[in-house]
Amino acid sequence: MTSFLKFAELCQKVEGTSGSLDKIDLVAAFVKELEDGELAIASNFVMGTVFPDSETVLGVGPSILYEALARACGCTSDQIQETLRATGDPGLVAYAVAEKRRPLNLAAFGRTDALTIADVFERFISISRASGKRSQEAKVKNLQFLFGEASPLEARYIARLAMEDLRIGVGEGVARDAIAKAFGQPAELVERGYNLTNDIGLVAQHAKHGTLSSLNVKINHPIKMMLAQLGDTIPSALQEMRNAAIEWKFDGARVQIHKEGEKVRIYSRRMENVTLSLPEISKVTIKQVMAKSAILDGEAVATGDDGRPLPFQDILKRFRRKYDVEKLAVQIPLHLHLFDLIYLDGNSLIDRPLSERRQLLSSIADSELVASQVLTDNPEEAERIYKEALDAGHEGIMIKNPDSVYAPGKRGKNWLKIKPVMETLDLVVIGATWGEGRRASFLGSYRLACADLDSGKLLDIGWVATGLTDEVLSELTETFKDLILVQKGMEVELKPAVIFEVAYEEIQKSTNYSSGFALRFPRLVAVRDDKSVEEADTMERVTSIYRLQRGRNPKGHVKG
């Protein structure tokens, strides 16, 4: 069995390494020596993920973590907070706690009963299963045990794993290439396996045994959704695609529906199980989709009395709701629009062309559920559909290649979106400041970051405080209070977990932020609960927009 200390030592080396290729070499050398069970766990751990499936939630917030640390070292919460303010990192706090608990010259580094990777994972399983009135106490005790057994270095990475924020710069790309290198497999095949399973540990096991090609779509296992790329104009998109499939781009929330007999599971874009929150979607699927088993791709749209789409935040209220669901469903009814079929009666359809998938979809689903699609190479016809969609209150149109396969997790030119709005960016919230005066109890402005794919780090790009009513600030403060990692005066550091869609007038060069850029006149458009941190816009996109914006009107650009 591999000790957790060896994993912690790997993390320390990777964290101190700047180049992606060097990180890949370190991770590859480590995972290559692991047995199957440890390989599955460690491959997820190294990405800061404890459980690969979206339905198992660890449920550890800062308050639970810091209480466990305080108990493990016999110190007070104030002492923990003081260390936090000094270090700004829960992992470094755990390191300091473990140093106080046990002198460094004792057997912590070479004891025969060392914590193993499997030991840590089993404790995390116990934490995830804790429920009921005493669940918080059970979580604290399990973490306390781990910190009581851990060396300072182990404690550092146990704390970060508990927060699912490892901070070593290993994302999907590094993990993919490391597994490919460790087991001599094509990176493309590793990536395909991950997009189909959302489980890098399972993929690593198959890579080790040379069976990656056997991985495929499975019912009741959500896969990454195919994504669209921004299209410049309707004529240019049609010229590139020739005959194209034109659909409305609905102003709703993406859903992936798994139907097996009379049972339905619904997953959000983030692959979270939202079935209980959307009962009418389940009912209509059972009643109007005539298939023994199917995986369907579509959009859930909230509509008002006039039939027009309600604001996106109303849709998110439905996705978040866990209690009094039926009552809210009356207030905010949802309508389903299906536009793709991924799996049917035991067979994966992802390698079949869109035209065939749509034909099969129409054969099993009632016509009122299937989104309208028009095949055309005529820009005027596409413009007519575009205007029709906008007049109905939706976002624009999708222009799709009828010959395209379904590419999970991929964003490419086979699906293009046209949407006439001010330029926006999807950015990660990494910090905030408390307000003043009557807003003193609210987190009033929020620090934003984009993703640097090369380093795996989040780089700040500015703050947003515009477009926030007292009601919104109250909701946001409630959302973020359990994500506060460190507080220094009026400013707090937040666990990266929430995406803001932010509009702005211009991107400017700036030395004030680690990205090297700043947003001019940013304002909050929406809280994108349907998007994960991995879907945040990147430095590459920010740089690309900055280069393009000279000589054009920013408000004339289209963004999806």
Reading the chain (560 residues) residue by residue, the pLDDT tens digits are 899 999 999 999 999 998 889 999 999 999 999 999 999 999 999 999 999 877 788 989 888 999 999 998 888 888 888 888 788 788 999 998 888 775 444 344 444 478 999 999 999 999 999 988 899 999 999 999 999 999 999 999 999 999 998 999 898 899 999 999 999 999 999 999 999 998 999 999 999 999 999 999 999 999 999 999 888 889 988 988 879 999 999 999 999 999 999 999 999 998 899 999 999 999 999 999 999 999 999 999 998 888 889 888 788 889 888 888 888 989 999 999 999 999 999 999 999 999 999 999 999 999 999 999 999 999 999 999 999 999 999 989 999 999 999 999 888 899 999 987 567 899 999 999 998 877 788 998 999 999 998 777 899 999 998 767 788 888 889 889 888 888 887 899 999 999 999 988 889 899 999 999 999 889 898 889 888 888 899 999 999 888 877 544 433 333 34
CA distances from 460 to 1, 61, 433, 519, 548 (A): 40, 23, 15, 11, 21
What pLDDT score was predicted for residue 550?
52
Q: Answer yes or no: do 399 and 440 share one domain.
A: no
pTM of the predicted model over 0.85: no
CATH of the domain at 407: 3.30.470.30
Nearest-CA neighbor of 274 among 262, 265, 283, 287?
A: 265
Q: Answer yes or no: do 283 and 335 share one domain.
A: yes
What pLDDT score was predicted for residue 557?
38
What pLDDT score was predicted for residue 553?
40
Contact 463, 502 (CB under 8 A): no
Q: Answer yes or no: do 396 and 431 share one domain.
A: no
Write down which residue in 358, 383, 417 finishes a domain. Answer: 417
Q: H helices within 169-252, ranges in order? A: 172-183, 187-197, 200-209, 234-241
| Assigned domain for 193 exists | no
What pLDDT score was predicted for residue 106?
39
- From start to end of 315-423, where are the E strands? 334-344, 347-348, 373-376, 396-400, 411-418
Q: Answer yes or no: do 323 and 413 share one domain.
A: yes
The span from the CA of 33 to the CA of 347, in Å, is 35
Q: Answer yes or no: do 355 and 271 share one domain.
A: yes
CATH of the domain at 446: 2.40.50.140
Q: Answer yes or no: do 478 and 510 share one domain.
A: yes
What pLDDT score was predicted for residue 353?
97
95 φ/ψ angles, rounded to the nearest 5 degrees: -60, -45
- Please enumerate in sequence order all residues whose Cβ is within 8 A of that of 405, keeping only pairs 6 or more positions apart, or say none: 350, 351, 352, 353, 354
**Cα dihedral 314→283→306→380 (10° resolution):** 90
| Assigned domain for 172 exists | no
Q: By residue range, what is the domain housing residue 234?
A: 227-417
Two structure tokens written together for 286: 């059972």
Write down which residue in 162, 180, 195 finishes a domain. Answer: 162
How long is the chain? 560
462 forms beta bridges with 448
Nearest-CA neighbor of 147 among 73, 61, 48, 55?
A: 73
Sign for the CA dihedral angle at 55, 429, 196, 350 comes to positive
Positions marked catalytic: 249
The per-residue DSSP string of 253-266 comes to EEEEEEEETTEEEE
Q: Answer yes or no: do 264 and 377 share one domain.
A: yes
Tell me if residue 511 falls in helix, strand or coil.
Answer: coil
Q: Answer yes or no: do 335 and 255 share one domain.
A: yes
Q: Answer yes or no: do 390 and 457 share one domain.
A: no
